[in-house]
Structure 1
């Protein structure tokens, strides 16, 4: 046996699980297909709110004491209570505000670096197949480089296009839905940056009467004294049929940005000015939306006597507009750690039972959230019904 737990994927889910296992004295290895922690040039941010206490318990007080340093603005302490404002994106009028208790906006690259500390992390490892021993005890991961690693359990934490999920269920791709978004990260002049940030120092949302949704916020404000170094993160999303998505699949970054600039002309600030000011050759990325509900009967997998399971985006793919994905991933990690340690405890619960119990809890909880998030996305892109959407009715609280 090379390690007790083999984790596929070095995203936030896999690394958080590795930290929890390391602190519990359980050997684990994290395998990442990329060649390094920062192999991809693109970065983004995500929100931790109702799962913050669980995250602190997973990583420990020492690592948690550094959580401020990995936020998009490390210089401004997180408020006990803040509000995510929703504007009429055409007029700038406030239409709603979601109150949030301790809303941590984390820069993904910095958060992963924090979670990777002390972890046995191996890069350039693309999983190809898994073999299970006949005695029901072991699982061996086989990688594209020809190496094999054996453990008591394999955890797929390898994101929405999970290879582990495909091995469990066959090709099981997320379901595409007819909405898309174009994301922008950009820096501006000092005067422009101060103007754009005057609307809110960290985050702002907008619902447009023409059935569009938008978000605006910070990606990196590390140097408080130099606004010209701040990086802003923003997007506009809108309805796009699957046929339209296919037709635009080969578009260049410039084509997507041109469409975004045209749409932004009907928006209020900060979106209008930000899209007017960005250079026409600025690289952007375009994303389609999809979901994957683990509670659907045909998505139930055989965990092979508790030897292979899923967590995070590999287990449930949610749309982004209610900011729930990372919070459920952290909860997955917390509950999976509980299951693993329980099966190693007094011998009253075996691994197969503990993992099956984890999966039952996870699929019920996250399946409901997947469905709520998809409903929320559809309603936010419908001016006639957005006020009845889950995010307007319930905010970002745990459902």
Structure 2
């Protein structure tokens, strides 16, 4: 970064300091790329939105060296992660999905980093601390983008520091818009994000109920779903596991927001002290931008796609965007990435955004369309029967898929000219019938190489050639990469179980951990493979 009379030069300007913008900065820093992140707010979150960091995002936090910090951010290790459907929190429990606490659950076979609750007001400060604020780091809070202009070789942006009203001009080679669902940058670029499904209006009520965890005891849950035929059928979520909660409600029929105190008391059904902290109306939209790129400007996270929160895919989809784009920007800026590599950001990520958006809507519709008997609230034989019938329907309806969806988090497969497919049929594209696969485009499978070291820990800064049947001929790969300045390493793995999991003798994995090519023998001339996976095609 160079500074001269209020003129700054950087490789990448990131606009927006939410979780995805900060993840973008973390990935660029990890790749050794200079960046500046400008955020109009002061970074303090008073109404946390995000609740759980998904397992693939946790793997990426492991990549950046901060996964343990997220686990230690404050969520109690002994708090159950159950999901419960109730008439009220203190009333009848109809159905419960049991998920062990973070301290008790075994590690899944497919990841070293299971999901973990870390709400927005913990997550944002944690990420900012790891990056550092200006002048010691790239994060510039209370800094507003005023305007920008694309040039042939740069993007020129004007920013204002809100506390001093000083202005600066930033020259960046690329701009990444992480400026939210309304994305003024995307709109200025003339890129539309059409709605796939009708917009819905909700009301989020944040409140403290400090005595509630002790009252609930063994009946505590991560999320309580209200089952009230008249007004409440949405979640009440524990935010910090200690007394901070968020209730999602629907505004009144006339569009006015509900009285927060009344709505919370109705949902709890327990006489306990509560303090309303905030009540906000928000619009649930289902949008995916028609394009994820406009020349030197890229749209990442909510600026590219908005999803229903049902399932918790939104932020996690955005973080995966950041990693896909981050290593490609690094490759081009360092000179070894081809001119077409950046186009594959949209090619690879847009179909995943559509898939995740549709799956989140399926989860939302399951809640909206659930038939609730009017007797279900009653303390009567008819009420008991209605609750048993609903529980049986939920059991048959596989409601667990909304809350345990590894196929959504891991099972996406990239298709682009930078991926070289097999002659074999690809894995079925069903997020609920997912197993780990080394098919090109898939996230490379996790397996333990030794205690504490996963195969995933091999990937990050270079292309990695995993060799399961000797390294003869690898020198041709090394030479081709050296001639093109492509970072490359190879590793011999002698574990038969890992070899079986990876399915082929040789697997070439990209810096983002996705398989670029595989085969049972190495090509005699690997230049075609190397050129294609680095964006020359």
Give your verdict on TM over 0.5.
Answer: yes
Look up the match of 2:205. 184
| SS across alignment from 2:219 | coil
Structure 1 counterpart of 2:526? none
- The DSSP-based 3-state class of the residue aligned with 2:118 is strand
- Structure 1: gaps (5+ residues): 222-229
Matched with 1:169 is 190
Name the counterpart of 2:535. none
Q: In the aligned structure 2, how far is the partner of 1:187 from the partner of 1:394? A: 27
CA contact (8 A) 2:83 2:97 kept: yes
Partner of 2:176: 155
Two-structure CA RMSD over aligned residues (Å):
3.3
Do structure 1's residue 291 and structure 2's residue 303 form an aligned pair?
no
Match of 1:127 among 145, 157, 161: 145
Contact 2:13 2:36 in 1 (8 A): yes
In structure 2, the residue corresponding to 1:383 is in which secondary structure? Answer: coil
Q: 1:25 to 1:86 in 2, by over 3 A?
A: same
Q: Distance in 2 between matches of 1:56 and 1:115?
A: 10
User: Which shifted more, 8-17 or 45-54?
Assistant: 45-54
Q: Which of 287, 298, 311 is 1:309 aligned to? A: 298
- Between Structure 1 and Structure 2, how many residues are aligned? 354
Question: Counterparts of 1:308-387 in structure 2 under 5 Å?
Answer: 308-345=297-334, 347-350=336-339, 353-384=340-371, 387=394
Offset, 1:41: 2.9
Q: Tell me: CA distance 1:212–1:390, structure 2 relative to 1, closer, same or farther (3 Å).
A: farther
With a CA cutoff of 8 Å and minimum separation of 6, indicate the structure with the bigger relative contact order: 1
Tell me what 1:200 maps to. 220
**3-state SS of the aligned residue for 1:354?**
coil
Q: Does 1:138 align with 2:154?
A: yes
1:6 matched residue in structure 2: 13
State which drifts further: 174-183 or 384-393. 384-393
Normalized against structure 2, the TM-score is what? 0.58
Alpha-carbon displacement from aligned partner over 1:242-297 (angstroms, at most 9, x marks no partner): xx54xx3xx5xxx4326625xx64x5xxx3227x7535x65422323222123xxx
Q: 1:376 to 1:93 in 2, by over 3 A?
A: same
Q: 1:155 to 1:17 in 2, by over 3 A?
A: same
Deviation at 1:6, TM superposition (A): 0.4
- In structure 2, the CA distance between the partners of 1:366 and 1:12, relative to structure 1 (3 Å rule), is same
CA distance in 2, matches of 1:132, 1:302: 13
Q: Is the 8 A contact 2:293 2:346 kept in 1?
A: no
Higher helix share: 1
Deviation at 1:180, TM superposition (A): 3.4
Verify the 8 A CA contact 1:32 1:123 in the aligned structure 2: yes
TM-score, normalised to structure 1's length?
0.76
Q: Greater shift after overlay, 148-157 or 203-212?
A: 203-212
Corresponding residue number in structure 1 for 2:376: none
Match of 1:300 in 2: 291
Moved more, 104-113 or 203-212: 203-212
Tell me, which stretches of 5 or more residues in structure 2 are unaligned? 1-7, 109-113, 373-392, 409-430, 432-537
Q: Deviations over 1:17-71 (max 9, x none)?
A: 111211221100000011x221x532344212231454225422xx223122224
Q: Aligned partners of 2:324 and 2:20: how far apart in 1? A: 12
- Matched residue, 2:239: 219
Conservation of the 8 A alpha-carbon contact between 1:7 and 1:156: yes
Larger radius of gyration: 2
Distance 2:192 2:117 in 1: 34
Distance change (3 Å), C-alpha of 1:211 and 1:185:
closer
Q: Paired residue for 1:37?
A: 43
